[in-house]
């Protein structure tokens, strides 16, 4: 391949067109214009070296030439493709006489590989363990969440088309689609990170991509204790409740850490039980051997083939599960989950968006009504009171930290009201340097379900509940 720089010097465009264009010779009246165009092209080449845009394009074009028209890359052979990209990259730099510092050379190569095989500008953000969320507003604005706080980063996509290509690359392997007829989608990355994408015309200012990252190494009980999310005593109690097959709902606002806590609590389920997980986008990372993972599916381009969370909950009852774990209860599936909890599937769990344990009860009532059943409110509340034993409420505090702030046990019914008692409550003691100080403490009440815990062979010291403390 003739050097791009040499073709520029000979007065040719990269595509091979004559820069003189009109058959002019160096001695003609167009000589000055030809010299001006040559200078412009050289300046553009220097911009290529500094801006590093056309080098990416050259590598991509050469790879596409090798693959052939109408063909696609086999992304399963990422190592071979990376080696070939690096080979082409080095060849093109040599042909174009481009000299780059070692670190700059590596950075540019990483960018090219990320654009062609990975997720482009998102790659370094996905690799940073401190970043928990990535958000775009169009292709030019990119924000991250770090330690519970949102901040902007000086990274952007080259264009709206570039951002759309990355979105397509995320959703395509999952058999999902996003286009003008279906402009929003839920998906996940290979590591389980949750993805939501919204494109124009719904997203007015350009495509909005939101990625909630999952830790490459799942968080452990010790991790959330070290973070100050909870205490050893609380986790001992929750572990006992999971083993004793309490039906547990984890509540909280968006980004409060509900799914992370659900994943940790699910890890307490004994390994000899059959677990069925049901999610919109598979995020849970259970370590048990006998786990069946189910994921909902949107409708196809003809509007057919949709599989909802409710469909999966109903189907799971035919799969002989010991426990059903629903990633998020948000609709009519609430009725089917409550019925499952009341008919032999003790120890089932799920998450609900709500502002408090009491609000969780109200939300469940509303979602049961969304199932289309004309049930009286009292009947719904009786179902809730008999199905759920424990509500664990988690919150994201003003300083960005996530904490378990309340653990409430459902006692039963008094009249038309579901009665609850708080077992643990977070007590804020102050504010120092913008950080909230405090600790979740027992209320001194002994749980009504202690007999069930004892029947499971677990002895919890009364001090856990603040009984006998001075």
Which CATH number fits the domain that encloses residue 396?
Answer: 3.40.50.300
The CATH number given to whatever domain includes residue 174 is 3.30.450.370
Residues paired with residue 402 on neighbouring β-strands, in sequence order: 396
Q: Which pLDDT band holds residue 59 (cuts at 50, 70, 90)?
A: low
- Quick one: pLDDT band at residue 233, thresholds 50, 70, 90? very high
pLDDT at 440: 93
pLDDT at 373: 84
Residues 282 and 388 in one domain: yes
Q: Is the pLDDT of residue 459 over 70?
A: yes
Q: How far is CA 137 from its chain centroid?
A: 17
Structural domain containing residue 205: 121-212
**pLDDT confidence of residue 118:** 74
| pLDDT score of 36 | 53
Task: Please check whether residue 265 lies inside any domain of the structure.
Answer: yes
Q: Is the pLDDT of residue 135 over 50?
A: yes
Closest among 276, 239, 273 to 350, alpha carbons compared: 276
Give the end of a domain, one of 188, 212, 236: 212
State the pLDDT confidence band at 78, using cuts at 50, 70 and 90.
Answer: low
Q: Do 394 and 352 fall into the same domain?
A: yes
Domain termination residue (choose one: 180, 212, 244): 212
Q: What is the mean pLDDT of residues 175-200?
A: 86
Tell me, yes or no, whether 53 and 70 share the same domain.
Answer: yes
Residue 158 lies in a domain: yes
Greatest CA separation for the chain: 104
Average pLDDT of 187-193?
83
**380, pLDDT greater than 80:** yes
What pLDDT, on the 0 to 100 scale, is given for residue 215? 74
> Is the confidence at residue 61, as pLDDT, over 80?
no
Domain end point (choices 189, 212, 235): 212
Same domain for 110 and 155, yes or no, is: no
Q: Is the pLDDT of residue 163 over 70?
A: yes
What would the pLDDT profile of 319-360 be if each residue is shown by its tens digit?
999 999 999 999 999 999 999 998 889 999 999 999 999 999
Arithmetic mean of pLDDT over the chain: 82
Q: Are 152 and 167 in the same domain?
A: yes
Helix (H, G, I), strand (E, B) or coil at 276: strand
The closest alpha carbon to 421, from 400, 404, 442, 394, belongs to: 442
Question: How many domains is the chain built from?
Answer: 3
The Cα–Cα gap between 73 and 208 comes to 26
Tokens of 181: 């007829």
- Tally of CA atoms within 13 A in the half-sphere of 266 that contains its CB: 34
Q: What is the pLDDT of residues 252-298, one digit of tens each?
A: 998 888 989 999 999 999 999 999 999 987 788 888 889 999 988 88
Q: Are 292 and 418 within one domain?
A: yes
Query: How long, in residues, is the chain?
Result: 470
Against a cut of 0.75, is the pTM above it? no
Q: Find, among 416, 160, 191, the residue nearest to 281 by Cα.
A: 191
Extended strands (E) in 191-273: 194-198, 208-212, 248-252
Whether the bond between 201 and the residue before it is cis, its omega within 30 degrees of 0, is yes
d(CA 408, CA 393) in angstroms, rounded, equals 8
Q: Is residue 168 part of a domain?
A: yes
User: In this predicted structure, what is the pLDDT of residue 44?
Assistant: 39
Q: Which distant-in-sequence residues (6+ apart) come within 8 Å of 37 by Cβ?
A: 11, 19
* Together in a domain, 251 and 391: yes
62 with 204, same domain: the answer is no
Tell me, yes or no, whether 470 lies in a domain: no
**Measured between alpha carbons, how far is 310 from 368 in angstroms, rounded to an integer?**
11
pLDDT band, residue 119 (cuts 50/70/90): confident
Residues 80 and 196 placed together within one structural domain of the fold: no
Judge whether 256 lies within some domain: yes
Looking at residues 192-215, what average pLDDT do you find?
A: 89
Is there a single domain that holds both residue 113 and residue 127? no
Phi, psi of 284 (to 5 degrees): -60, 140
Residue 197: the pLDDT is 93
Instruction: Examine residue 143 and state whether it is found in any structural domain, yes or no.
Output: yes
What is residue 41's predicted lDDT score, i.e. its pLDDT? Answer: 42
SS (H, E, C) 57-113: HHHHHHHHHHHCCCCCCCCCCHHHHHHHHHHHHHHHHHHCCCCCCHHHHHHHHHHHH
d(C-alpha 60, C-alpha 114), whole Å:
12
In a domain, 97, yes or no: yes
Lowest-confidence region among 17-21, 402-406, 436-440: 17-21
- 340 and 412 in a single domain? The answer is yes
In a domain, 253, yes or no: yes
Q: Where are the alpha helices (DSSP H) in 321-457?
A: 333-341, 357-369, 377-387, 450-455
Q: Residue 261: which H helix or E strand, with range?
A: helix 258-266
**Judgement on whether residues 184 and 239 belong to the same structural domain of the protein:** no
Higher pLDDT, 148 or 397: 397
Identify whether the C-beta of residue 2 lies closer than 8 Å to the C-beta of residue 12.
no
First to last CA, the chain: 84
């Amino acid at each position: 391949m003739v050097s791009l720089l040499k073709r520029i010097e000979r007065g040719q465009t990269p595509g091979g067109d004559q820069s003189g264009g009109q058959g002019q010779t160096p001695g003609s009246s167009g000589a000055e214009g030809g010299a001006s165009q040559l200078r412009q092209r050289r300046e553009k080449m220097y911009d290529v070296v500094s801006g590093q845009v056309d080098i990416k394009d050259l590598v991509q074009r050469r790879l596409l030439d090798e693959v052939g028209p109408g063909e696609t890359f086999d992304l399963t052979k990422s190592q071979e493709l990376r080696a070939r990209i690096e080979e082409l990259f080095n060849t093109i730099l040599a042909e174009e006489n481009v000299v780059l510092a070692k670190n700059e050379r590596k950075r540019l190569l990483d960018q090219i590989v990320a654009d062609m095989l990975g997720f482009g500008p998102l790659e370094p953000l996905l690799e940073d363990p401190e970043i928990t969320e990535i958000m775009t507003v169009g292709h030019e604005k990119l924000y991250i969440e770090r330690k519970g706080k949102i901040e902007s980063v000086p990274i952007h996509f080259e264009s709206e088309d570039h951002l759309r290509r990355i979105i397509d690359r995320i959703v395509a392997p999952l058999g999902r689609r996003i286009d003008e007829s279906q402009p929003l989608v839920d998906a996940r990355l290979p590591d389980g990170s949750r993805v939501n994408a919204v494109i124009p015309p719904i997203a007015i200012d350009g495509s909005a991509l939101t990625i909630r990252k999952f830790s490459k190494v799942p968080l452990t009980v010790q991790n959330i204790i070290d973070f100050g999310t909870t205490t050893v005593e609380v986790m001992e109690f929750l572990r006992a409740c999971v083993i004793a097959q309490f039906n547990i709902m984890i509540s909280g606002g968006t980004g409060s850490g509900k799914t992370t806590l659900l994943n940790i609590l699910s890890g307490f389920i004994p390994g000899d039980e059959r677990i069925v997980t049901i999610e919109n986008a598979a995020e849970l990372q259970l370590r048990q051997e006998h786990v069946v993972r189910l994921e909902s599916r949107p409708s196809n381009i003809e509007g057919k083939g949709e599989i909802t969370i409710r469909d999966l909950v109903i189907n799971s009852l035919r799969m002989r599960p010991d426990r059903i774990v629903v990633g998020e209860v948000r609709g009519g599936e609430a009725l089917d989950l409550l019925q499952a909890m009341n008919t032999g599937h003790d120890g089932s769990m799920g998450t609900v968006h709500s502002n408090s344990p009491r609000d969780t009860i109200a939300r469940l009532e509303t979602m049961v009504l969304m199932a289309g059943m004309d049930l009286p409110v009292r009947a719904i509340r009786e179902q809730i009171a008999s199905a759920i034993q424990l509500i664990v409420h988690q919150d994201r505090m003003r300083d960005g930290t996530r904490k378990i702030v309340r653990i409430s046990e459902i006692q039963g019914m008094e009249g038309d009201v579901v009665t609850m008692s708080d077992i643990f409550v977070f007590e804020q003691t102050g504010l120092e340097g913008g950080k909230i100080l405090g600790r979740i403490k027992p209320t001194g009440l002994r749980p009504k379900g202690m007999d069930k815990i004892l029947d499971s062979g677990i002895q919890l010291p009364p001090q856990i509940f603040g009984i006998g403390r001075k």
